Structure 1
Amino acid sequence: MSRSTKVTVGRAVDWNFAATIGAKLAKPGPAATDYTRNQVIEQLASASVRAEIPVREVTGLNEGADVSQARIVDRPEWIRAASQSMKVMTGGTNGERPNFIMGRVTGAQTGAVLAFISSGILGQYDPFGDNGGELLLVYPNVIAVERQLRVVPADFRLWVCLHEVTHRVQFRANPWLAEHMSNALAVLTEETGEDVTEMVGRLASFVRDRRDGVASEPNSTGVLGVLRAVQSEPQRRALDQLLVLGTLLEGHADHVMDAVGPAVVPSVGTIRRRFDDRRKRKQPPLQRLLRALLGIDAKMSQYTRGKAFVDHVVRQVGMARFNTIWSGPETLPLPDEIEDPQRWIDRVL
């Protein structure tokens, strides 16, 4: 199948329908008075600006760029923004309309997934949003988590902004990151035109290897393992690129949050301890299944593994030399280097 006739996932989904269904299915936020809602919206908007300068100082990135406020949204607004971003990321913006029935079916499925995720997202930097990128903070979720953790609200709100603003700084200081992510997504979401029997054969081989106890390579277990089993080799490389990039970005943000936190967030020690305990808390069986299917637990491991990588490199060579990592795709860590940071230091520095 030629490249011109390939179909991307983005053009198989009715994204407007996904946004509509997702917004309808989203759980309502926690009960709050108008005063509380207005207060958290104002504080998050202010904190998204206050966090920028200390983040820049610690990272050494994005010096002199304008500081902008985040957009503070509720769950349905986040779903609509995420749907639009996914439409752009997956190539669904060229004017082609999806098949009506298939587009509605996949749109409803996507909307349901976004509705589930929407209650757990505190914030997100969207590099494909308006004006070349947009930081979103989901205020009902911030209220819910700070109540659950029983922490000082103003401190927690600033702490959340330190993490999310780091993502904004990462992408604005390094515009090539968005294109690198987009290129990998294009490969990952493109139908290859392979014979179904080839995909089934790879899946059967995967199952046989697991049964026979063949040693697993990184990212070869669970849902990611099944996904990799049916992918072509270019798609596997693209998935690895996205996983490594996500691990680096999240780990870097967690490192920066901890580096900045003690100076600007008085109760940062309590917040970090209780937040980490919350991440590790055992979930009900159905929620554990959904989290596994949606890759949420894999996302959690990104924070831990990525932060360990960044902590090690910065401790060994300092932040200025660590920033070599942002030079281009060739200086990003390889999958095995995430687990062994010294290998990245030896290869790149």
Structure 2
Amino acid sequence: MLIGDVARRSGVSARMLRHYDALGLVRPTGRTRAGYREYSGEDIRRIFHIESLRSLGLSLREIGRALDDRDFTPSELVDDLIRQTQERIAAETELLTRLRRIGAAEPAGWEDVLQIVALLRDLGATSAGRRQRAALSSAGEVPVPVEALVEAALSEADPNVAGALRWALAQSGDDALAPLAQGLGSPAAEVRVRAVRSIAEIPDGGATTLLRDALASPDVVVRRYAALALGTRGVADAVPTLVDMVVEGVNDVDAADTLSALASRPASAEEIAARLVGRLALGTVEASARLRVTQALAEIPGITASRALADLSQDEDRAVALTAAYILRIRDAR
């Protein structure tokens, strides 16, 4: 079969067939009397084999080795191709994400594009200082897309940079909530914590709804951050978790302060005091926990708190008893 017929049947151009011949990949079995290349059936099968391997991303050199080396095993080469393809997909995905973020910022001109690109690059810099400056600059005239800020906030380990990123997200308001909500469901504990802390700094609105949902999280650390944030917003649902924090000695000072703020209404004060007293009634609370509860009751007004302090002034632990008695004297003097 002549080269023109082979090209039509195989879909491989005559020029490429000549290139294969020059490389020694497919040498026509014969020649006509006029000197034209003449391909046999075996030659054509080899052409189809070459095209199949090219579709996998193999170079012509690798294809020649695969077809001619009898000791060649494909597994190593296929593994290498998988790795190269994964790297290429990751790079293309990163580029696509960057382009979408630039588009979302709606740049007015190339200067805006260049500024956004610089900020995105600095958000991923190895220098914590550069990342922090980028975060603080993100709410400027040409803002960084909120998705980029969320991604940076959920991966940031440096406390100063993390604080700057949470501030930047707070300026974005509810626009940041959807991607942060995904962070709450992350399998990584540190990402969940960063997400709830970022949500806690976003002003009231949709953030409060997300924080209420976070109170039911299986992650106790997420629940605690959500409770502290909700308590400062006056949400009574946070009380049980805050009481647990006081008893367990986890951020107990902040939890007690938040309970005190929630106790500004008489009905709330009685509920909070009852919950604190209820934990004491379990009979298994250690002296250190009883002392923390005593200190928390100091700022809770009402009869229930006063009665509990009177009982605690008779506690077997001297520190608890003295603290309760001191608090009672101050309350009586008011």
Same fold (TM over 0.5): no
TM-score (norm 2): 0.21
Larger RCO, structures 1/2 (Cα 8 Å, 6+ apart): 1
TM-score (norm 1): 0.20
